[in-house]
Amino acid sequence: MFFIGIFGVKQGQKEIGTESNVICPECGHLTRLNVIKQSSYFHIFFIPIFRWNVRYFAKTLCCGQLFELNAEAGKEFEEGKSGAISQGDLTRIGPQRRTGLVRCGSCGANVENSYRFCPHCGNHLT
């Protein structure tokens, strides 16, 4: 009898659901979060045997910002508890996005800070 053992270590991620009616900590809009579970696992014959380094992430649909989710909140969400995610459970990953208004130094108009030039007078915004 000949036996070939196929085993190994892999890292995988899986979308486990969405949380609705959450206020985005980044832009302040009412949005939904896509919750993703990431882990490393040992498998035999492509069947996961045990997992380690389990992490949860949440991505907003409004501005696309990625957050790391607290492990306890991620487990509660995975178990199906409603309202398991709060703003205190989210830690931003990546650069902070600029939000709000800036004042033009030339004409004094309030302009969204995503603009590089003032739409009223045309001068460069600093």
Dist. CA 82–CA 71, nearest whole Å: 16
Dist. CA 78–CA 75, nearest whole Å: 5
% of the chain exceeding 90 in pLDDT: 30
E strands, 61-117, are 66-69, 90-93, 101-103, 110-112
Return the domain boundaries, the chain: 7-92, 96-126
Q: Is the pTM of this model over 0.85?
A: no
Model confidence pLDDT, tens digit, residues 63-120: 788 999 999 999 999 988 767 788 889 999 876 655 567 778 888 888 887 788 888 8
> What's the mean pLDDT in 11-30?
88
Dist. CA 74–CA 94, nearest whole Å: 20
Q: pLDDT value at position 97?
A: 58
101 vs 25, more confident: 25
Phi, psi of 110 (to 5 degrees): -85, 125
Q: pLDDT value at position 9?
A: 87
